[in-house]
Structure 1
Amino acid sequence: MTAIGGGGAQAPFDASAEFGGSEVRDWFTLLKPRVLTLVVFTGIIGLAVAPGHLHPILAATAILCITIAAGAAGAINMWYDRDIDAVMRRTQRRPIPMGRIGADAALAYGVMLAIGSVVLMGLATNWLAAAVLAGSVGFYVFIYTMWLKRRTPQNIVIGGAAGAFPPLIGWVAVTGQIDAVPLVLFAMIFMWTPPHFWALSLWAHQDYERAGVPMLPVISGARETRRQVVIYTVLLVPLTLAPWWMGFNTAAYGAVAALLGANFLRHAWLVWRDEQDGAGVSLTGDAPARKCFKYSIFYLFLLFGALAADRLLLA
């Protein structure tokens, strides 16, 4: 397999050279540890609120599988995107562009971790959970990374499904079935992803432009991106109230979700109202977009934490 627009022919794989010249932290970096934090957290929430019981050791194994699978997908993503990572300031110091880990070794690492995590999930919990886990890796690698990312500014909208799987996987690991509640949790993360990522892309658009990645600010401009941040946030907030409307959570969760959502809407509105020039380029260094991006991470942690606390302690 070769990346679209990749770096051409590669030298034969030399295991001693590939593994001997790198350090443990580089292999850990391939797993995208900062991204894993949210993945693991939402997976734990899905598992914790699911009806039924899973032995603590099996529950810990399920979370480990979700973590490893997500990391494996990140490693394969870094293998495929090594050409654009090398020209983007945000990513050019990653292990593959810096030559600390070879492309072939990174691919083998990711594939082996992905296969191992899926098999272990099936053996430890159930094969439906393993299938959903495999689907999440496949979606991120084949649908988002290889198909959408370099072809359409809607890449993060459709591709956002990849990051929405963890609570669904956690739920299925316990129950062995797919129900309405985990699908709502999936939809909440799916709808959260565009305003979260487009806030980032507003102040990182030069990186994407340099790499030829058709992110929304590059293709449609900053003003349209700001509008989309507001639209998706407006769609997200009512959706987060669905667990309360469905009777899964109490009004206490609904109140917290509404307050958190109102603040997210405030941040999105400030992004829209950011002082701009005639082309819609920020005159403040995209300060509101940076704050919106940071708050969006804080928001998702608190939202899912409130959902679990309400379900487990108050319901």
Structure 2
Amino acid sequence: MVRYVARRAGQAVVVLLGVSVIVFTLIHLVPGDPVRSAMGTRFDQATYDALRSRAGLDEPLVQQYFTYLGHALTGDLGVSFRSGEPVTSLLLQRLPATASLAITALLIALLIALPLGVLAGMRAGSAWDYGATGVSQVGVSVPDFWTGILLILVFASTFGLLPPSGYEPLFGDPLGWASHVVLPALAVGVVSGAILTRFVRGAVLESLRRDYTRTARSKGLRESTIVRRHVLRGALVPIVTVTGLQLAGLLGGVIVIEIVFAWPGLGQLTIESVQNRDYPMVQGAVLLLAAIFLVVNLLVDLLYAVLDPRIRYS
């Protein structure tokens, strides 16, 4: 297990290096001058030259990259061109908002997907199956931003039950956080739940065809016991795989929803940084999102051995 984790950690380092090269190259191909953009109407040639020199933008690109990489290895992702604050601090400030939204949306998705997917898989070909499949198809087809706008119109504008936008810290004001997170989490969770429903259905159908399920039925066990102890347990590995991918994607920033609901998370920060040509912030955000994706994938892989004793890492 230890050697497996060490090998995956080494692979993650290589992936992050590749991501850093790609992002650094692409962002410097974007037209425009980040220093000129940050100065706005207060342009002064001497100040402009001093800022470019301090940011290292007057050096060759290769030297800029290795300088950035050396600082990044120590946890220093640079300073934001726009705000002048450390990139690492800004990212850590925004991470809790995105994490709380992503986890809440995933819980809503699981509450939708598990009952519908299991029901559709256990009663394949029935009206329940067609109904669950149709609901999941509608959920996948409808954009999450449209769902978000519809939720705002109904629950915020029409009935005034929930705030249309904004954010409250979870540990600072739990009730305020809950009232603000419901609508964006629903908008994202419905789409994720629709995707997960189809995978849960497929995993249940596959588990029903296994020998252990037929053996359990031949023993005369009750259907509820078969579903709980055999079908669901056998379907857990593919379900956990897709759930992990969904969580990694959500933690990567539900960009559109964060814009619609003015949610101050990583997605909104990344979009603002791209618009302002804030090179250090964009590079730091992409590296953080890539690292999150790799960590979630590793945790999901390690969870396989817990769910299925036949799986061993060597």
Superposed pair shares fold, TM > 0.5: no
Give the number of the structure whose alpha-carbon radius of gyration is greater: 2
With normalisation by structure 2, the TM-score equals 0.29
What's the TM-score, normalizing by structure 1?
0.29
